[in-house]
């Protein structure tokens, strides 16, 4: 088994059986200082006591420890373009030297692009140039590695070939001296290594662009932890680079018309996230919030943070045993299934994006581990992002519009999603959406490849003045990565098929007015209720472990009986009359067909029982059967209890409900009376067919 920890977006391993101890690097001296006592001892990931009083005390002590960690990180750097300009504007020699290094590397690349364009080989060499750009970013150091990773999530800025190549960037850099790392730990925490750890690996377990990781054992509890230490001087390197890159952004905004996004704003946003990643206390708080929101599911694991041993440049967290999610063979050796873990990751990603809006902004296979217990562990919380509340509902509405092929509404969704400013005319975008999605939606959900969908949509975004918000691009990349991992295990796996149960559950159960409107839009068309859509939603929604028939029933009724539900009530009454008629007449059909043929002749004088066309009767049979299947789906919900109908009965006693019931009874009576009169007068509206001649496949077995 391998032991894993994350650093700079990647997980690293130490094979079981290899020991580790405190090692004194050359030139390093331990400085004895008083040790702090860890406030929240945890053994094997569980609290040391089950007493509520003790747990409450531990919680209070943990908050105090977190406050002390915040105090230690009080002087952590925050991205400020003004301060960087003031600092490096007065150091022209250093700025010019770094500028020349960057210009030579990127200038050579730009010259190759110019030659490609001149020779008409721009598209032909696109893949080759993308690989060269990835190499250049790696050579230029941590800032450009991070920049390349950020660009890999921006389909509005980069063609698909560049997105794929830049997504391969790895934060793998040479380690810095262990003596510097150990000295940083002592300086930051104000105590000696010997007072904190009973053992620590003599060399890093992992090294990345921003820091490196050691494996250690806490002296007071014996718990194994990961200790991440920031690379010395990293703020200086990153600060200078962002100062220069920001200057380039102003140049791009002024002279490069092909890029429609505000380059300076993009650079500032990205730089702010990188600086947040430099504050390890902030990363610890991110992990704590992520754990609170998403680790309530038993198949999700988020490591604990040890606040007494955390500062702005040192992060001590629970060590996680596990295997990277892209190592299928190792996962299967543990008796686990990769597809189960990927599905867990997809559901968690959807909750992050659409439920709470707080999500992991550095999606990478190395940040996802499969634990021996079958849990999916999330690591590295340096870069997080948030989805605005309005956008969360707009995304679900966008999916509904896509399913309905309402491309005008899809185009308008981009206002709510903050893709377009409200002064942009979306009418030219509609044909492009129609051309792409008409082809893409010719496949079923289970056949549609998510990456193909994203790449195609990215091509549309690249051609028009879109400004894709980082939250949207990042979550698309996350789901694409998960689908890519799943394809190793099952070439037929489709992330959309795995996501659909979540969307169905949200549409059926969420009382949010926006989603209620989206559900109505999905289920009603041209004044008719689409029962097949409801049945499909229930089938898919029931696959979600959190689906509840109770949640699906009551919000719909409240909407139906609400003050703004008159239009919906009219549609529902019309459909209820149709369903009641179908059930009544089809029951009569069943009874008639069960009567021996000689008795039919005696009762009906040799004529058919109803004056009705075969097609109309077939349609009624199908409607009746579909309604019965839907009721069966509701009853099959694992938490279905007839008692849940009691609140519904209370709702039905309201004046609006009684009025609705009266209108419904009146409609049914009128419809059946018309049928009876038609039968008496024998004046069918279409060629008739006696029930005795009806194909037996329309008779329920």
Task: Give the distance, in angstroms, between the CA of residue 688 and the centroid of all CA atoms in the same chain.
Answer: 54
For residue 273, what are its two tokens? Answer: 């996230």
Evaluate whether 585 touches 679 at the Cβ level (below 8 Å): no
Residue 151 burial class via C-beta count within 10 angstroms: exposed 0-12, middle 13-18, buried 19 and up: buried
For residue 102, what are its two tokens? Answer: 């960057």
> How far apart, in whole angstroms, are the C-alpha atoms of residue 164 and residue 127?
9
Residue 171 burial class via C-beta count within 10 angstroms: exposed 0-12, middle 13-18, buried 19 and up: buried
Evaluate whether 318 touches 304 at the Cβ level (below 8 Å): yes
> How far apart, in whole angstroms, are the C-alpha atoms of residue 172 and residue 141?
10
> How far apart, in whole angstroms, are the C-alpha atoms of residue 310 and residue 300?
24
Q: What angle do CA 556, 624, 681 make, to 5 degrees?
A: 120
For residue 635, what are its two tokens? Answer: 């009853």
> Could you give the angle at which helices 142-151 and 126-140 cross, rounded to 10 degrees?
140
> Sign of torsion, CA 64 66 67 72?
positive
In this structure, the strands spanning 197-200 and 46-47 are unpaired
For residue 353, what are its two tokens? Answer: 């994006």
Which DSSP category does 355 fall into?
A: I
Q: What is the CA radius of gyration of the chain?
A: 32
Specify the 3-state DSSP secondary structure of 429: helix
- Name 475's Cβ contacts closer than 8 Å, sequence gap at least 6: 349, 352, 353, 359, 363, 387
Specify the 3-state DSSP secondary structure of 635: helix
Of 58, 362, 380, 510, catalytic: 362
- Name 315's Cβ contacts closer than 8 Å, sequence gap at least 6: 227, 228, 280, 281, 283, 284, 305
> How far apart, in whole angstroms, are the C-alpha atoms of residue 141 and residue 169?
11
- Name 513's Cβ contacts closer than 8 Å, sequence gap at least 6: none
> Sign of torsion, CA 462 158 239 311?
positive
Specify the 3-state DSSP secondary structure of 544: coil
Residue 370's beta-bridge partner residues? 323, 376
Helix, strand, coil in percent for the chain, rounding step 5? 60, 10, 30
> How far apart, in whole angstroms, are the C-alpha atoms of residue 65 and residue 39?
7
Which DSSP category does 6 fall into?
A: E
E-strand ranges in 172-253 read 197-200, 206-207, 211-218, 224-230
> How far apart, in whole angstroms, are the C-alpha atoms of residue 676 and residue 668?
12
Residue 441 φ/ψ, nearest 5 degrees? -80, 5
> How far apart, in whole angstroms, are the C-alpha atoms of residue 528 and residue 623?
12
Told to judge if 268 belongs to the known catalytic residues of this protein, a careful annotator would answer no
Evaluate whether 235 touches 278 at the Cβ level (below 8 Å): yes
> How far apart, in whole angstroms, are the C-alpha atoms of residue 439 and residue 430?
14
Where do the H-state alpha helices sit in 334-428? 338-351, 389-404, 407-416
Largest CA distance in the chain: 112
Dihedral angle at the C-alpha atoms of 244, 477, 349, 293, nearest 10 degrees? 0
Active site residues: 362
């Amino acid at each position: 088994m391998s032991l894993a920890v994350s650093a700079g977006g990647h997980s690293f391993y130490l094979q079981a059986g290899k020991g580790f101890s405190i090692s004194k690097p050359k030139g390093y001296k331990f400085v004895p200082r008083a040790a702090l006592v860890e406030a929240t001892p945890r053994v094997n990931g569980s609290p040391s006591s089950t007493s509520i009083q003790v747990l409450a005390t531990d919680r209070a002590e943990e908050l105090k420890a977190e406050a002390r960690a915040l105090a230690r990180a009080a002087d952590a750097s925050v991205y400020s373009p003004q301060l960087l300009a003031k600092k490096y504007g007065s150091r022209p020699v250093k700025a010019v030297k770094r500028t020349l290094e960057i210009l030579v590397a990127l200038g050579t690349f730009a010259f190759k692009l110019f030659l490609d364009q001149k020779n008409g080989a721009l598209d032909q060499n696109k893949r080759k140039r993308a690989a060269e750009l990835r190499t250049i970013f790696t050579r230029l150091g941590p800032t450009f590695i991070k920049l390349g990773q950020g660009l890999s999530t921006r389909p509005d800025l980069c063609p698909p070939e560049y997105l794929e190549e830049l997504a391969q960037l790895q934060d793998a850099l040479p380690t810095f001296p262990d003596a510097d790392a150990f000295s940083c730990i002592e300086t930051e925490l104000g105590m000696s290594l010997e007072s904190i750890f009973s053992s620590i690996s003599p060399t890093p377990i992992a090294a990345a662009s921003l820091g490196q990781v050691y494996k250690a054992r806490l002296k007071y509890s014996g718990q194994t932890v990961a200790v991440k230490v920031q690379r010395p001087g990293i703020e200086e390197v990153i600060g200078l680079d962002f100062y220069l890159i920001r200057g380039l952004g102003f140049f791009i905004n002024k002279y490069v018309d092909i890029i429609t996004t505000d380059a300076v704003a993009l650079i500032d946003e990205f730089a702010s996230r990188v600086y947040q990643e430099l504050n390890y206390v902030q990363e610890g708080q991110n992990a704590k919030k992520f754990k609170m929101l998403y680790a309530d599911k038993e198949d999700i694991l988020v490591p604990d943070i040890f606040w007494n041993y955390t500062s702005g440049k040192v992060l001590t967290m629970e060590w996680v045993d596990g295997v990277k999610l892209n190592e299928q063979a190792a996962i299967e050796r543990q008796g686990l299934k990769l597809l189960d873990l990927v599905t867990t990751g997809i559901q968690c990603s959807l909750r992050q994006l659409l439920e709470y809006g707080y999500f992991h902004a550095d999606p990478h296979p190395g940040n996802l581990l499969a634990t021996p217990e079958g849990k999916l562990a999330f690591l590295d919380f340096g870069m997080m992002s948030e989805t605005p509340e309005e956008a969360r509902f707009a995304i679900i509405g966008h999916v509904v519009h896509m399913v309905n092929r309402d491309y005008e509404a899809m185009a308008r969704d981009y206002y709510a999603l903050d893709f377009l400013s409200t002064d942009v005319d979306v009418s030219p975008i509609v044909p492009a959406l129609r051309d792409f999605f008409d082809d893409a939606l010719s496949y079923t959900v289970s056949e549609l490849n998510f990456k193909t969908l994203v790449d195609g949509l990215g091509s549309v975004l690249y051609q028009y003045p879109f400004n894709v918000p980082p939250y949207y691009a990042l979550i698309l990349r996350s789901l694409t990565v998960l689908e890519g991992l799943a394809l190793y295990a099952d070439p037929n796996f489709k992330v959309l098929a795995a996501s659909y149960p979540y969307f169905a559950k949200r549409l059926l159960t969420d009382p949010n007015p926006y989603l209620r409107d989206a559900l109505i839009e999905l289920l009603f068309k041209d004044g008719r209720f689409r029962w097949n859509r409801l049945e499909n939603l229930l089938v898919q929604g029931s696959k979600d472990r959190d689906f509840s028939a109770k949640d699906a029933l009551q919000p719909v009724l409240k909407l139906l009986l609400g003050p703004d539900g008159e239009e919906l009530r009219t549609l529902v009454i019309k459909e209820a009359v149709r369903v009641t008629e179908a059930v009544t007449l089809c029951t009569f059909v069943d009874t008639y067909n069960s009567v021996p043929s000689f008795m039919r002749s005696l009762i009906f004088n040799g004529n058919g029982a109803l004056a009705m066309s075969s097609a109309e009767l077939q349609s009624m049979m199908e409607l009746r059967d579909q309604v019965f299947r839907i009721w069966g789906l509701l009853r099959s919900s694992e938490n279905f209890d007839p008692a849940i109908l009691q609140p519904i009965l209370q709702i039905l006693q309201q004046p609006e409900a009684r009025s609705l019931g009266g209108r419904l009874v009146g409609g049914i009576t009128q419809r059946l009376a018309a049928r009876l009169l038609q039968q008496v007068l024998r004046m069918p509206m279409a060629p008739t067919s006696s029930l005795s001649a009806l194909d037996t496949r329309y008779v329920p077995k």
